[in-house]
Amino acid sequence: MKISGFTYVRNGIKLGYPFIPSILSLLPAVDELVVVVGDSQDGTREAIEALKNEKIRIVDVVWDMNLREGGKIFAQQANKGLEEITGDWAVHLQADEILHESAPEQLRAFIQKADQREDVDGLLMPFLHFWGDFQHIRHTRRTHRFEIRAFKNIPGVYAYRDSQGFRKYSSRENYLSGEKGKKLMVLKTDITIFHYSYARNPKLLSNKMHSFFRFWHSDQWMKKNISDKPFDFNNVDKLTIFTGQHPKYMKEVIARQDWEFNYDPSKSNIRLKDRPLYFIEKKFGYRMFEYRNYILADEG
């Protein structure tokens, strides 16, 4: 059985994405890794080439800068990578998502188990969302606890929404025309995705916000809602302290931290309706009315 990985990135250096650690963390888990590289001006492609890993295959693309609807450009890039892979299973990481060095062996074992079951389409993985620095995580109703990051490479599977996850569709034409698709049947794993989207210099994050949201909203919306000021990490609902171990691939990135974040819980912007639900989740470990882009399969 062949396992393929795929990811995408554009101007990763300029925007502060830990895309090299992401790639390095995925390589031991896969037999090939397709990296879809957008037209970058900051040495992103050269940095990937410098890894000189025979598993890596770079696919060059030019981003459509006029595609400004619902983050479709990101789904487009994920689908390009999915089109290029040749394995029986697909494993996807975004450019700010990292696997722990212990994950590849676990992942292959889960894939072997899931591959024996016709009723299982993929694997569900828990997320740790870092916020402000590398010591705080955001674990609230406004972040997803789980998402699909590995699945059988079968016809009809495409990126859902802005490539948050994946679903099955009756045809490519229907997918492109807006069909909602079928949720994948998945086995839950304990293979953690370390998500570092909001763990970067606040000036870089402000640039990232400009780059990201321009593929969602009009110039008018951007002007009204996105500031040129450094990102305010205290504009958040709730954070907790991370006491675990980061992936070894992030060691140099963490050592280069050049900003300081002082978390102020008194500035919490948690919504009134979320407060009792947050309390219940913290006390009992259960998230009520949770949105799920997947169907859990029987453990078997």
- List the pLDDT tens digit at each of the 300 positions of the chain: 999 999 999 999 999 999 999 999 999 999 999 999 999 999 999 999 999 999 999 999 999 877 767 678 899 999 999 999 999 999 999 999 999 999 999 999 999 999 999 999 999 999 999 999 999 999 998 999 999 999 999 999 999 988 889 999 999 999 999 899 999 999 999 999 999 999 999 988 887 776 767 666 677 766 777 767 888 999 999 999 999 999 999 999 999 999 999 999 999 999 988 888 788 788 888 787 788 999 999 886
What does the pLDDT read at residue 21? 98
Query: Residue 280's beta-bridge partner residues?
Result: none
Q: 167 phi and psi, to 5 degrees?
A: -140, 170
0.85 exceeded by the pTM? yes
- Every domain of the chain and the residues it spans: 3-125+144-189
Closest CA to 187 of 74, 282, 89: 89
- Fold that domain 3-125+144-189 belongs to in CATH: Spore Coat Polysaccharide Biosynthesis Protein SpsA; Chain A (3.90.550)
DSSP 3-state of 161:
coil
Integer Cα distance of 260 and 267 in angstroms = 17
Residue 277 has what pLDDT?
Answer: 79
106 CB-near residues (< 8 Å, 6+ apart): 189, 190, 191
pLDDT tens digits, 52-107: 999 999 999 999 877 767 678 899 999 999 999 999 999 999 999 999 999 999 99
